[in-house]
Structure 1
């Protein structure tokens, strides 16, 4: 991000904060926070048990279930499930994490982003988002309009509604030929074999109705029951967008089916005749358990002084800020964590204070720093400062 983009991002963050004012301080949200914190803590403790249950339940529901050990395996499973045509994709941190779009492009598969923000970034050739829920928050209206005029060849003014209409028309024309929709999942109910997805644009609904619907999510998304999943996504929505509930909540527990002819079970009435779930480990099994509490709302980076100063240089792929740095240490390696901004963090703790489930990001950053330092992964300039303190009692 350049300075103008960071300034625009702060303006967008301020608007989000204003929208959330009042909503987050109600007794109802207090109760929801406590409930979801308990749900997530229990889920992280029982991940293996929930994974085993989810495998059985999804398959009972007619869903093809796969466990991918790493990004390459996840991408391979998805690619082998395709029919060779273009793929329509929704916004998803997990899909960014495994690098699906680049992988499929290298295999000659065209990927169409269907989320407005992601499509704008795709048109602009920008790889990294500004916020997990608002990917293009660092771009102003005039800049976005110029991108749309240039890339789509349309004559529009700097009006948000005209921008939205032009991008919507482009997306709808592109996905007419798609038979496969790929989405993430916000929370997954293991005992029910059901994925819960929230969205405001309606694009996920369209993707879930394509011939094949592929769901991709980390194993940290599991919770026990569907009621737990709905609580998680409701809290996520409040913190991510400043609204009480999203426009849409999709629950996917199997292919489209009907039993209206002699009670025979027939698949593929209106929606997908094939549903595939890909649960991704990718280092999560060996991660700090507390790092997996996160519900993905992005509240931590809105308040983070470092993120507000340097933007998405602080974080890893779609996982932004300090928690993204921690994630990078097991999604990739410790060297990646250092490159993602491990030593940028001030350890102020605002990320934890603003987290609805109390993810102890600052403590995890401090722990990771200690491990990296012991392994010799630190900035040499920091070592010189430390040596001056030892010799002179001052860093100067």
Structure 2
């Protein structure tokens, strides 16, 4: 789609602020490199935020929820009603991400993009209702081009709202029964890999269930591959509304100049799609954790990403990203608050 907003250039990180931060790291009262990746994180954030003292205090978490037509094929251990039920749980404060957001003092935004089973109005939930879930991509494209564009825009608008609140960091999360099948199919197309190398258990499919899931995705890719001529077309044909929204959010974050912390498997599939749609996104993304899903490592390799933690998590809903936030906060506080050799009157360099 020529001239679409997601093709506009991403911002360039502030090289001057990054250089200043790097110089400060050489003057702090520690051997150079002694804080490992925490030093790199602080320097990178300084360049992205364009300030000598980077900060991760105001955090915006947007959870995108949507259903998947591919669930009709029995590729999940849970029924689709769970998507709406979990969205209600988020709103009521009982989900993992609800707990973690409270702990971080983060703003938690909930967006319903399209459910099969109506849940009615929920306090604090933006109900966009782009579609009643995606179509079954074993039979037809998951989305129309218009639906995909609306989902991408939903992600962009979430980023713009975070900037209105002067957020330091944007985090996107997902909820949608069947979305590991969509993410796997999308990854297979973007990475040109066979399904049996990337498919995973998702909500717990094992044995014959996992074999069935593999066959379904293989058949779907056979249907769609002849028509795939761009990352956007791949997203439209086998993606999900929430995956498209995440991709749109990552692109918008880079365009608007706010760092984004990517969650696990689903979010990484969206991130790779975002980078393929707009390569300038790459410097603006941090990667929080390595999922237990087998496909995630392949996505991380393609993204040239080294996640902050590896805790064998596979919950989604931005929980892994939320767990990793204190590492970014520690990096900033150490960078900003440690004394320099001169300030501490340390005459012997530890370098």
Higher relative strand content: 1
Give the structure-1-normalised TM-score. Answer: 0.25
> Which structure carries more relative contact order (alpha carbon 8 Å, separation 6+)?
2
- Structure label with greater radius of gyration: 1
